[in-house]
Amino acid sequence: MPLVAKLVLEEEVKEACSLRNTLHDEEDALSIEVLKLQDTLNEKDEIGQSLQLKCEDLEQESQRMKFENQLQQLMGQHKNLCNVFTPERLPLEVQSAEYTTQQLLKAENQMLEQVAHLQEELSKAQASDSATLMHDESFTHILHT
C-alpha cells in the first residue's frame, strides 16, 4: 500500500474517531438534559397534585363555612323567634338579615375567587407539564433515532 494512501486512511480514521467521541459527548449531554427535564416534570406533577389538593380543601372549607353559617342562622332564628315576630322588631330584623346575607355573599365570592385562581394555576401547571412531556418525547425520539 502506498505511503500516501496509508496516511490518508489514518487521517480518516482519526477524524472518524474524533466524530464518534463528539457524538458520544453530545449523547451524554442530551441524556443529562433528559434526566433534568424528567426531574422538572416530576416536580411539576407534585406541584399540580398539591394545588389540586389545596383546591379540594378550599372547596370543602367553603362548603363547611356555608353549612356553619346556615346552622348559626337557623339557631339564631329559632332562639329569637318570639322577638322576630313582634311588630316593633321586624324592620330591624329584616335589615340585620339583609346585612348578614351581604356579608355571607362577600365571603362566598372571595372563596370562589380563591378556588378559581387555584384552578387556573393548576391548569397552567398541567399545560406546562404537557409541553414538557412533549419536549421530553422529542428528546427521547432523537436519542433513539
pLDDT for the residue numbered 83: 61
**pLDDT confidence of residue 145:** 59
Note down the domain range covering 25. Answer: 3-144
Domain count for the chain: 1
**pLDDT (tens digit, 0 to 9) for every residue of the chain, 145 residues total?**
688 888 999 999 999 999 999 999 999 999 999 999 999 999 999 999 999 999 999 999 999 999 999 999 988 877 777 665 677 777 887 899 999 999 999 999 999 999 999 999 999 888 887 767 666 666 566 556 5
b/e 60-70 (16+ beta carbons within 10 angstroms → b):
eebeeeeeeee
Q: What is the pTM of this model?
A: 0.40
pLDDT at 79: 77
Contacts of range 128-132, beta carbons closer than 8 Å, 24 or more positions apart = 128/44, 129/41, 129/44, 129/45, 129/48, 132/37, 132/40, 132/41, 132/44
For residue 85, the model assigns a pLDDT of 67
